[in-house]
Copies of this chain bind each other. A is one copy, B any other.
Amino acid sequence: MTHRATIDFLLHDWLHADALCDRERHTDHSRETFDAVLDLSEKLANEQFAPLNRLIDIHEPEFDGVAVKLPAETPVALKAFGEAGLVGASKDVELGGMQLPTVVEIASMSFFYKASVGLAAYPMLTRGNANTIVAHGTPTQIETFAKPGLEGRTFGTMCLSEPQAGSSLSDINTRAVPDVNGDGSGTDWAQDPLGQRYRLKGNKMWISGGEHEMGRYRLKGNKMWISGGEHEMGENIVHLVLAKIPGEDGKPVPGVKGISLFIVPRKLVKADGSISDQRNDVALAGLNHKLGYRGTVNTLLNFGEGKFPVNGQPGAVGYLIGKQGEGLKCMFTLMNEARIGVGLGATMLGYAGYEASLNYAKERPQGRHMGAGGKDHSAPQIPIIEHTDVKRMLLMQKAVVEGGLALGLLCSQLVDDELTGSSEQGENARLLLELLTPIAKSWPSEWAQEANSQAIQILGGYGYTRDFPVEQYWRDNRLNMIHEGTHGIQGLDLLGRKVVMNGGKALSVLAERISQTIQKAGHVPGLAEHGTALAQALQKVGATTKAAWSTGVPEEALANATPYLQAFGHTVLAWIWLELALAAKAAQAEGEWDQRPEGPGFLQGKLAAADYFFAYELPKIDAWLGVVSRRDLTCAKAQADWF
């Protein structure tokens, strides 16, 4: 299949990722080291992950009252991933990483998502968890809680939602209180090296030298939808937990400003950083039995209910990370990474379905060509890939999954630019990444899901059976429009925040990038028309953004934030496809792909997918933008008793 070839095309013909090796952080790298990582990843994914994908669907996690039971194969596969050094591949050498560019790390990850998203979610979460600790933790916290995760020895989670608070994080009830007394041990918590020992400016709970000086908190509350929340794999699970610290009046600060972030290990960690055998007061309250994505255990966790008392007292021991009240800001380090990860996971589920349906379409005989005199029923049947409607369904999938993969890699390269690019590159990359994150998350979630549906359709009745993998991809993928911020939340984020922040600066940066692409396309036969179509789309998106906000009333501007998100996403993908078409044309001129086993059809396929996107997909934006630009209030005005 062409997954690896497409990765090469995207990394080298399009993103010119080799150039990253000129940057000081990556001087030890080269195309050869990138290839080695990708070779290893593809092999590991094919050998260790893919064979388990149906198994982990059939044998979903079970709780026997004592422990969560996963298939015995699951920890073996994850251990192989960790031991290959892939969790922390992009991290500093001092942290055990190899300072691989993020874009290559994520390209590597695409093989694992495709092979088994239910397995890949564990290292994805662990990596994001560790990155968050690296970004906001103390040196001791990084050494103690991040490094083992990056080494594949421990696992990480993100604990945000609660049963009564999903999308509305300001309503979380989990409380964190200073662990100052009642522990019975006489330990001086201020000396706990895992907490923060420096004075925090403006942090009222922190009175240096006073009796409230402390290093740790006790947490109580329930956390819902926690992926990887409980299992016996690895040496420990490091939970990152949002909770509220009561203010001086004993009440939590309302809204998101009252939220802080805590490290809460499943097993207590000693002062020297070693993991004890003692459970922290974090108990499994139940497993969620899902439609798909079953390989990733999903849990309801009770923090501090007293099932595993610490020093005789209920309350889960936790360590503040980052500043008090800035928990959500810190968590967004993880959340933004996870959103791009969710989008890429969705894309790669789409990719898996694309490959399966492509294989089927090439092999399944059915029907005949229509000749001048009708069909010749005495002729043998043709493979269904020769039927135009099947090719339409394949091109749709190709356009979505290769476009989605390109988007994921682009965002990953922006992470690199933010980290190691020039200051102007870095600032532009930061803005673009903020703007594109809701698209990177939502667009593949919606359209790779639809791609999976087309894969089922190509297989027909067979696709509807569990004898073929496509139905599972479709089920697995349905989660992606929900977790890490629903589709609706992404739309509000985009239209309510991202396109208007800094006076619309991020949108300007994007428009500038798109205009450059259009300009290039203007000189290329076969692509100039697409450039014109993209210019019109960009103009419409800009005008619609203005029209939506023209009254300045959020309820009107945001009444159609989801259709706006859809139109914006299709416009971004049209840009990406024009970029890829330009890269394909350039590669055709160079002729280097003719030598590869994929042959010249490989680049023609990229151009056909671009043609498909401009002919069949981009025109859809008008219907979506229409309601946004006229601030249609049909939905806003509907009343509950009308339904």
Question: B-contacting residues of A (Cβ < 8 Å)?
Answer: 2, 161, 164-168, 170-171, 224-225, 254-255, 288-292, 358, 362, 365-368, 370, 375, 377-378, 381, 383, 385-392, 394-395, 398, 449, 453, 456-457, 460-461, 463-467, 471, 474-475, 478-479, 481-483, 486-488, 491-492, 554-555, 558-563, 599, 601-602, 604-605, 608, 611-612, 615-616, 619-620, 622-623, 626-627, 632, 634-643
Q: Is the CB of B464 within 8 A of A389?
A: no
Q: Is the CB of B561 within 8 A of A291?
A: no
Q: Which residues of B contact A560 (CB under 8 A)?
A: 392
Q: Is the CB of A623 within 8 A of B616?
A: yes
Given contacts A388-B555, A619-B623, contact A378 B635 (CB under 8 A): no
Q: Which residues of B contact A605 (CB under 8 A)?
A: 638, 641-643
Q: Is the CB of B288 within 8 A of A465?
A: yes
Q: Report the minimal beta-carbon distance from A445 to chain B, rounded to whole angstroms.
A: 11
Alpha-carbon separation in the docked complex, A449 to B454 (Å): 13
The residue that A291 contacts in the complex, of B368, B471, B641, with Cβ under 8 A, is: B471
Q: Is the CB of A488 within 8 A of B389?
A: yes
Q: Is the CB of B367 within 8 A of A168?
A: yes
The residue that A634 contacts in the complex, of B612, B622, B637, with Cβ under 8 A, is: B612
Q: Is the CB of A482 within 8 A of B466?
A: no
Q: Which residues of B contact A601 (CB under 8 A)?
A: 639, 641-642
Q: Which residues of B contact A377 (CB under 8 A)?
A: 170-171, 254-255
Q: Is the CB of B616 within 8 A of A627?
A: yes
Q: Which residue of B lies closest to A168 (CB)?
A: B367
Q: Which residues of B contact A481 (CB under 8 A)?
A: 457
Alpha-carbon separation in the docked complex, A481 to B464 (Å): 10
Alpha-carbon separation in the docked complex, A627 to B613 (Å): 12
Q: Is the CB of A254 within 8 A of B378?
A: yes
Q: Which residue of B lies closest to A621 (CB)?
A: B623
Q: Is the CB of A608 within 8 A of B460?
A: no
Alpha-carbon separation in the docked complex, A383 to B643 (Å): 14
Alpha-carbon separation in the docked complex, A604 to B467 (Å): 47
Q: Which residues of B contact A463 (CB under 8 A)?
A: 482
Q: Is the CB of A388 within 8 A of B558?
A: yes
Listed A/B pairs (26) with beta-carbon separation below 8 Å: A166-B460, A167-B460, A254-B377, A291-B465, A291-B471, A292-B464, A362-B640, A391-B638, A394-B638, A395-B634, A449-B453, A456-B478, A457-B486, A471-B478, A563-B616, A599-B641, A605-B638, A605-B642, A608-B638, A616-B623, A616-B627, A616-B634, A619-B622, A619-B626, A620-B623, A623-B623
Query: Which secondary structure dominates where chain A touches chain B?
Result: helix
The residue that A623 contacts in the complex, of B167, B289, B622, with Cβ under 8 A, is: B622
Q: Is the CB of A392 within 8 A of B289?
A: no
Q: Which residues of B contact A619 (CB under 8 A)?
A: 622-623, 626
Q: Which residue of B lies closest to A466 (CB)?
A: B289
* Chain B CB within 10 Å, residue with most, of A474, A478, A479, A626: A478
Given contacts A171-B381, A611-B634, A623-B620, contact A288 B389 (CB under 8 A): no
Q: Report the minimal beta-carbon distance from A110 to chain B, rounded to whole angstroms.
A: 18
Given contacts A481-B457, A634-B615, A641-B601, contact A291 B488 (CB under 8 A): no
Q: Is the CB of B561 within 8 A of A389?
A: yes
Alpha-carbon separation in the docked complex, A401 to B555 (Å): 27
Alpha-carbon separation in the docked complex, A561 to B460 (Å): 18
The residue that A168 contacts in the complex, of B366, B386, B611, with Cβ under 8 A, is: B366
Q: Which residues of B contact A471 (CB under 8 A)?
A: 291, 478
Alpha-carbon separation in the docked complex, A636 to B386 (Å): 8
Q: Is the CB of A627 within 8 A of B615?
A: yes
Q: Is the CB of A464 within 8 A of B562?
A: no
Q: Which residues of B contact A483 (CB under 8 A)?
A: 461
Alpha-carbon separation in the docked complex, A2 to B554 (Å): 33
Q: Which residues of B contact A366 (CB under 8 A)?
A: 165-168, 171
Q: Is the CB of A164 within 8 A of B365?
A: yes
Q: Report the minimal beta-carbon distance from A34 to chain B, rounded to whole angstroms.
A: 25
Q: Which residue of B lies closest to A607 (CB)?
A: B642
Q: Which residues of B contact A161 (CB under 8 A)?
A: 461
Q: Is the CB of A559 within 8 A of B388?
A: yes
Q: Report the minimal beta-carbon distance from A517 to chain B, rounded to whole angstroms.
A: 21
Q: Report the minimal beta-carbon distance from A340 to chain B, rounded to whole angstroms.
A: 20
Q: Which residues of B contact A170 (CB under 8 A)?
A: 375, 377
Alpha-carbon separation in the docked complex, A632 to B363 (Å): 26
Q: Which residues of B contact A638 (CB under 8 A)?
A: 391, 394-395, 605, 608
Q: Which residues of B contact A224 (CB under 8 A)?
A: 461
Q: Report the minimal beta-carbon distance from A382 to chain B, rounded to whole angstroms.
A: 10
Q: Which residue of B lies closest to A562 (CB)?
A: B389
The 3 A-B pairs at the shortest CB distance, nearest first, are namely: A605-B642, A601-B641, A619-B623
Q: Is the CB of B461 within 8 A of A604?
A: no
Q: Which residues of B contact A554 (CB under 8 A)?
A: 370
Alpha-carbon separation in the docked complex, A488 to B387 (Å): 10
Q: Which residue of B lies closest to A626 (CB)?
A: B619
Q: Report the minimal beta-carbon distance from A537 to chain B, rounded to whole angstroms.
A: 12
Q: Which residues of B contact A464 (CB under 8 A)?
A: 290-292, 478-479, 482
Alpha-carbon separation in the docked complex, A366 to B362 (Å): 48
Q: Is the CB of B391 within 8 A of A636?
A: yes
Q: Is the CB of B290 within 8 A of A465?
A: yes
Q: Report the minimal beta-carbon distance from A385 to chain B, rounded to whole angstroms.
A: 5
Alpha-carbon separation in the docked complex, A381 to B388 (Å): 51
Q: Is the CB of B635 within 8 A of A388?
A: yes
Apart from A166-B460, A608-B638, 18 more pairs, CB < 8 Å: A2-B643, A165-B366, A170-B377, A254-B377, A291-B466, A291-B471, A362-B640, A370-B555, A389-B488, A394-B643, A395-B635, A457-B486, A604-B639, A605-B642, A619-B623, A620-B620, A622-B622, A623-B623
Alpha-carbon separation in the docked complex, A165 to B460 (Å): 11
Q: Is the CB of A453 within 8 A of B478?
A: yes
Q: Which residue of B lies closest to A382 (CB)?
A: B168
Q: Which residue of B lies closest to A255 (CB)?
A: B377
Q: Which residue of B lies closest to A362 (CB)?
A: B640
Q: Is the CB of A642 within 8 A of B608?
A: yes
